[in-house]
Amino acid sequence: MRLQVGPFDPALHVRSRDHHRAICREAALLDTPPESMPRRWEAAVGRFYRRLNLGPVTEAVDRAFVAGEPAFAVEVTVPDGQLAEAIAACHELEGLLGDVLRWAQESDADVLNLPEDVRAHYLAFLAQARTQLEAAGNAVAERAVP
- How confident is the model over 77-119, as pLDDT tens digits? 999 999 999 999 999 999 998 888 888 778 765 557 788 999 9
| Cα 10 from Cα 68, distance rounded (Å) | 8
| Cα 54 from Cα 133, distance rounded (Å) | 13
* Start-to-end C-alpha separation, the chain: 21
Q: What is the pLDDT of residue 108?
A: 65
Q: What is the pLDDT of residue 14?
A: 97
Question: CA nearest 121: which of 77, 79, 61?
Answer: 61
Q: What is the pLDDT of residue 11?
A: 97
- Residue 107's Cβ-side half-sphere holds a number of Cα atoms within 13 Å equal to 23
Q: Alpha helix (H) ranges present in the chain?
A: 10-30, 37-51, 55-67, 83-106, 116-144
Q: What is the pLDDT of residue 107?
A: 73
Q: What is the pLDDT of residue 106?
A: 80
Residue stretches of the chain with pLDDT short of 50: none
